[in-house]
A = this chain, B = another copy of it.
Amino acid sequence: MTQRFKVTLAYDGTNFAGFQAQPNQRTVQFVLEKAINKMSKKDEYITVYGSGRTDSGVHALGQVVHFDFPHPISAKGMLRGLNSMLPLDCEVVDCKIVPNDFHSRYTTHGKRYLYRVSRGEFVNPFKRLYTGHYKYPLDIEKIKEAMPDVEGTHDYSSFVASGSQAKSHVRTIYEAKVYEDKVNDEIVFEFYGNGFLYNQVRIMVATLLEIGNGKRPVHDFLRLYEVKDRSQARQTAPASGLYLKEVYYDEEDEKL
C-alpha cells in the first residue's frame, strides 16, 4: 500500500550545494532521500521530487516535495521519523498524505520568494549568511514606485541567467512588494508569481537596488522588458538573501 507524501521543508541553504541531487555533493534532495530510504529499508530506491531547484546558499521556509512510500505510516509518523533522521539544517515543517496524481512540480500554480537585504557600512556577522548586504544609499520610495512595473505578464529575458533551459521567458508576477523591517534594519522584497526563471529574483533585486540608489531610472524595468538583453541588467544579488517562502497548490488537488 504505497502512499504519496507531500512534505514541506525549511532549510538553511548555507551548507547545501543547492536542492537537486548531484554526484558527490551534499544537496537537500540527497539528505532527504537518504533519510526516506533508511526509513523504508526496501531494495527499491525512493526518489524525491521537488517543486523546483534552489541554488547553493539559497534558503527555504516552505519548499515542497513529494515521494511515494511503500509502508503504512501516518503523516505525523513520517514527519517525526524524518526529523529524527535529517541533519539539523533541514527540517520537515509539514507533512500530508495526498492523492497519487499530486505532483510537487506539475500541479503547483505559484511560488513566493522573499529576499532580505541588510544595510550599514559593514556586514553584520550574524546576517552574512542570511541576507544580501547593500552598503550604498537607498531611497526606498523610488523602489516602491518601481514595484508595480515588476508585476504582470512580461518577457523576463533581461532577467534570466545564462544557464537557463526554459523555452519561454514569459512569466506572470501576481504580487511584488517591498517593505522595511525596522526591527532588523533590513529591506525585504516579496515576489509571488506563477513561476520564476533561473536567477530571476536575484537579478530583479539587484536591479531594484540600483533603482533605489539612483543608478537607474525608476521605470527602467519597462525598458528592460523591451530590450530582452541580460547584459543590460548585469548584477545578481547574492544567494544568501533569497528564501523560497511558499509553493502554492489547489486545495482540491491535495484532497484524498
Contact = CB atoms under 8 A, between A and B. Distances in A.
A123 B10 contact: no
A89 interface: yes
Contacts of A83: 121-122
Contacts of A121: 83
B12 A91 contact: no
Interface string A115-136: 0000001111110101000000
Interface residues of A, number: 19
A113 interface: no
Contacts of A92: 122
Q: By CB atoms of chain B within 10 A, which of A12, A92, A121, A126 has the most?
A: A126
Q: Main secondary structure on chain A at its contact with chain B?
A: loop
A237 interface: no
Nearest to A60: B125
B10 A89 contact: no
A201 to B, nearest CB: 19
A90 interface: yes
Contacts of A183: 183
Contact of A88 (B11, B59, B89, B123): B123
B10 A88 contact: no
A14 to B, nearest CB: 9
A89 to B, nearest CB: 5
B125 A91 contact: yes
Ranked 4 nearest A-B pairs via Cβ? A12-B125, A88-B128, A89-B125, A83-B122
